[in-house]
């Protein structure tokens, strides 16, 4: 146990030290993207692992990004206040949509479709309010007046961003671990197994589901806000909508949805893949990355529903067991 803790501390220190040793700005840029998206994918998996498959997270991410940027540009509200406000907005929206869903036992297909519509609607709103948001052309937060970079949460320095993203990513894993060790996990597992039985055993099904959804939505909005502050440019397609939601599902499934580092592995794979395609095909790559994602997503669901990391860990833990039929039955993401 101690040895394990030591390993993680050393790994973390190595990650903190990395930008001071290796200063290649492009590599750092890719790493920051990986960390921010890893955090977003982890946020999705926090509820996805319990069979609460949401395709509305593109909406939460878009709210995080746009509310923060709009408050800064139009009202001069510092992102230090804007980010919590954007998270609160996403949280309220999550509760408004999720409460009736959970209260009236809307599960499975229905839940997916409702959340899918949610992310579609957020995209529509961003496009419709083009006078404020720039519509589908995208939106740029205004540059901070000189000397107010901390107030505006804008840093030119890649190392600073790397450290911020790293801290947030670690925080995401800590939240994952906290949930993993809490009563919520047991309650949620019972619920995903059999909702009626869980309710009969005294689990407040609606409340537990709402808690986990709220945590997940808040984290996703934070990821969106960070992405906006880092990239200094957002467009409806990159931070909201169904495609972004599906991208989260894809990364989580490719990496493995019930291992803490699974979504991170998914982020590494998807972003490296996108970058490789971008570099080798240039502007012709538009569309190709999603085409590859789509094909891989289908292939993974058919042949490796536990994801890469999940399957590898399974193989290590019980090298003899894995038979495909059995695996598929025990995938929680996949439970009805």
Partner 1 sequence: MQSFLNIFDIYLLEAVINGILLGGVLALLALGLNLIFGVIDVTWICYAELVMIGMYGMYYLVQVFHLPYWAAAPLVILLVALLGAALHFLVIAPLLTAPPINQLLATGGVLFILQSFATVAFGIDFRNLGIRLPVLALGEMNFSYARLLSFGAALVGMVGVYLFLTRTFTGTAIRAIAQDRQIMPLMGVDPKRIYLVTSAIGGGLAGLAACLLVLQYDVHPFVGLSFGPITFLICVLGGLGNFIGGFIAAFVFAEIISLGGLFSDLEWGYVLAFAFFIIMMFIRPAGLLARRS
User: If binding is defined by CB under 8 A, does position 174 make contact with partner 1?
Assistant: no
Q: Does 328 bind partner 1 (CB under 8 A)?
A: yes
Residue 218 found at the interface with partner 1 (CB under 8 A): no
144: left (phi over 0), alpha (psi -120 to 50) or beta: beta
Number of residues that bind partner 1 (CB under 8 A): 60
271 counts as binding partner 1 under rule CB under 8 A: no
Q: Where in 3-32 is the site for partner 1 (CB under 8 A)? A: none
78 binds partner 1 (CB under 8 A): no
**Dihedral, 164, 166, 170, 172 alpha carbons, nearest 10:** 70
* Cβ–Cβ under 8 Å, residues 72 and 152: yes
Q: Is 249 exposed, middle or buried (0-12, 13-18, 19+ CB in 10 A)?
A: buried
Confirm or reject binding of residue 249 to partner 1 (CB under 8 A).
yes
Residue list 83-102, contact with partner 1 (CB under 8 A): 96-97, 100-101
Instruction: Pick from 118, 205, 226, 268 the residue near partner 1 by CB under 8 A.
Output: 118
Nearest distance, CB of residue 236 and partner 1, angstroms: 10
* 228 is an interface residue for partner 1 by CB under 8 A: no
Given candidates 26, 182, 295, 321, which one binds partner 1 under the rule CB under 8 A?
295
* Measured distance CA(46)–CA(30) in Å, rounded: 24
65 near 239, Cβ under 8 Å? yes
Sole binder of partner 1 in the list 23, 109, 143, 177 (CB under 8 A): 109
* Chosen residue from 297, 307, 309, 314 binding partner 1 by CB under 8 A: 297
CB 62 within 8 A of CB 123: yes
Which is nearer to partner 1, 17 or 295 (by Cβ)? 295
From 7-15, 17-25, 265-273, 296-304, span contacting partner 1 (CB under 8 A)? 296-304
Indicate the residue among 26 and 110 with the shorter CB distance to partner 1. Answer: 110
Question: Which range, of 38-46, 116-124, 147-155, 218-226, touches partner 1 by CB under 8 A?
Answer: 116-124
Report the C-alpha gap between 112 and 119 in whole angstroms.
11
259 near partner 1 (CB under 8 A): no
Between residues 64 and 120, which has the closer beta carbon with respect to partner 1?
120
The verdict on 280 binding partner 1 (CB under 8 A) reads no
Q: d(Cα 277, Cα 309) in Å, to the nearest integer? A: 23
Q: In the set 253, 260, 269, 308, which binds partner 1 (CB under 8 A)?
A: 253
Distance CA 246, CA 287 (A): 15
The distance of closest approach from Cβ of residue 250 to partner 1 in the complex, given in angstroms and rounded to an integer, is 7
Residues forming the site for partner 1 (CB under 8 A): 51, 53, 55, 96-97, 100-101, 103-110, 112-114, 116-121, 123-125, 127-128, 237, 241-243, 246, 249-250, 253, 286-291, 293-298, 301-302, 305, 325, 328-329, 331, 333-336
């Amino acid at each position: 146990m101690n040895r394990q803790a030591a390993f993680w501390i050393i790994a973390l220190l190595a990650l903190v030290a990395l930008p001071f040793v290796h200063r290649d700005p492009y590599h750092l840029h890719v790493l920051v993207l990986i960390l921010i998206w890893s955090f977003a994918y982890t946020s999705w998996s926090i509820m996805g692992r319990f069979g609460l498959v949401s395709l509305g997270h593109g909406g939460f991410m878009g709210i995080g990004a746009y509310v923060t940027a709009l408050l800064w540009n139009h009202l001069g509200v510092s992102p230090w206040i804007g980010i919590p406000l954007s998270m609160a907005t996403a949280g309220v929206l999550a509760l408004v949509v999720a409460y009736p869903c959970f209260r009236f036992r809307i599960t499975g297909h229905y839940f997916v479709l409702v959340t899918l519509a949610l992310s579609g609607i957020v995209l529509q709103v961003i496009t419709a309010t083009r006078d404020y948001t720039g519509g589908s052309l995208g939106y740029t937060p205004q540059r901070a007046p000189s000397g107010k970079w901390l107030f505006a949460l804008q840093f030119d320095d890649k190392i600073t961003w790397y450290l911020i993203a790293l801290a947030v990513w670690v925080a995401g894993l800590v939240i994952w671990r906290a949930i993993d060790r809490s009563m919520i996990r047991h309650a949620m597992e019972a619920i995903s197994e059999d909702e009626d039985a869980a309710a009969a055993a005294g689990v407040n099904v609606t409340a537990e589901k709402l808690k986990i959804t709220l945590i997940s939505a808040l984290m996703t909005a934070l990821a969106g806000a960070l992405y906006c502050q880092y990239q200094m440019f957002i467009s409806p397609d990159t931070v909201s909508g169904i495609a972004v939601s599906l991208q989260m599902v894809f990364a989580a499934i490719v990496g493995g949805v019930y291992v803490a580092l699974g979504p991170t592995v998914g982020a590494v794979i998807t972003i490296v893949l996108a970058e490789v395609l971008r570099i080798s095909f240039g502007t012709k790559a538009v569309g190709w990355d999603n085409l590859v994602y789509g094909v891989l997503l289908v292939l993974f669901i058919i042949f490796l529903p536990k994801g890469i990391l999940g399957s590898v860990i399974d193989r290590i833990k019980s090298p003899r067991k894995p038979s495909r039929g059995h695996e598929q039955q025990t995938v929680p993401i996949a439970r009805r």
